[in-house]
Structures are given as structure tokens and as C-alpha cells.
Amino acid sequence: MSGSGEATTVPDQLTFSVDVRKTATNVSTALNQASRTTRAVLEAVAAQGVDREDVQTTGLDIHATYDYSGEGAPVITGYAVSQRMSVLVRSLPDSGDAISAAAAAGGNAIRLHGVKLRVGDEPGLLRKARDAAIADARAKAEQYAAASGQSLGEVLSVRESGGRQAPKVGFAQAAAYDRMAGLSAVPIRAGSADLSVSVSVVWALEPAAQE
């Protein structure tokens, strides 16, 4: 018998990604400038209560830039460096300040993207959905067993499939910001997060107890 269960909660955390991009005439200058901006962003989000272990480097890219305007072969004009990191804000009320602080610290040298709401205790939410799915399957199985004059025996197998509906945030797109003092906190609306689970349970059937 199949059953489905769903659990709903309010997201309490937020993640976002930061790309730091710098271009200079040589690699070392571009890399040093990108590193300085990255440190400024790290210090800014740390000041908003983000723990060091909740910021992870996700990539580093260095490549040459070219001038294609001439008739001959393209000419190298400099080098571009991109450093990428992901930030987890465990307190949703502080997430708008953390995003704004990162934008102010990085200025036009950064891009913010990949903003996602998340649930801190997702395993607990999953347990609730599983309990609801099993209860739904059992209620159906008991009804069919009773209708056929039998009762449920032992469980022979359980198979689970799940589909997650991730919470959304409206401004989750790439954006550039001017460096400025007093940048307002980005407004965050949590909404709700739903997690659904489907199960297929096989019971043995036994003769109904005689009264």
C-alpha cells in the first residue's frame, strides 16, 4: 500500500554565494587585489555573526584578457581573477544584514547570487513527513484488510521516495552593488518550506481474529 506525508516549517537559515572579480595588467596584482577584497568581505560577514566555518571557498579562476579589436592576432591586455565563496547564515533575521555587509565591503568588485532559504533541522522535518506517510499507508491497508475480512500482519518491505519543494526567495539573482556607507539591510521574507515523502509498504495479511 502506498502512502504520502508532508511536513511544513518556516525556513530559519539562508545561504548565498559571493564572486570576487579583479582585473589587472599582471597576475600577481589581480590576485592580490582579489584577495584583499575577499578578506574585506569575510571580515564584514564575520562582524554580522557568521562563523568562520560557515564560509567556504568554492573556486578560484585566473585567466588572461584579450583585445580583439586589431586585425591581427588578439593581444593580451591583462589578467582576471575570480574567487568564489559560499556563506551560510544560521540566523535568518541576520541574513539581510549579512548580505548587505558583503555588498558594501566588496563594492562593484563582487557579484552576489545563489540566495537560498533553508531549514536547519531538515532531518527532523523529514522524520515528521515519514511518520505521516507510514500512518497514511497503514490507514489504507487496515481499511482494505478489514473489507476483505482479514487483518494486517508483519511488514514485509518498505520503500521510500521523496520529492522536496525548496523554499524560494524573490531576489535570488546576480547583482552588483556600489560601495557605500549605511547600505540598508536586504529584506528577507521566509514564507514556508514543505517536504514530502512517499512510501510503499507491503504487509502480510492474516485471518481476522474470531470474536
CA nearest neighbour of 185 among 101, 123, 97: 97
The rounded Cα 114 to chain-centroid distance in angstroms is: 8
pLDDT of residue 164: 56
CA-to-CA distance for 134 and 155, rounded, in angstroms? 11
pLDDT at 162: 66
Express as a percent the part of the chain with pLDDT over 70. Answer: 84
Cα–Cα–Cα angle for 170, 116, 178, nearest 5°? 65
* pTM of the full structure: 0.71
Q: Which amino acid is at 108?
A: N
Residue 173: pLDDT above 50? no
Contact 15, 149 (CB under 8 A): no
Residue 182's pLDDT is 44
79-136 per-position pLDDT tens digit: 999 999 999 999 988 999 999 999 999 999 999 999 988 888 888 888 999 999 999 9
Q: Are 160 and 119 in contact (CB under 8 A)?
A: no
Summarised one tens digit per residue, pLDDT across range 175-186 is 333 333 344 566
pLDDT of 123 reads: 87
Average pLDDT of span 55-78:
92
135, 121, 98: which is closest to 5 by C-alpha?
135
Which residues sit opposite 176 in a β-bridge? Answer: none
What residues form DSSP beta bridges with 82? 21, 61
Q: For each of the domains in the chain, give its residue range(s) and CATH number, in order of start.
A: 2-207 (3.30.70.2970)
Higher pLDDT, 177 or 144: 144
Q: Indicate the pLDDT class of residue 172, thresholds 50, 70 and 90.
A: very low
**Amino acid identity, position 169:** V
Closest CA to 54 of 103, 7, 105, 16: 16
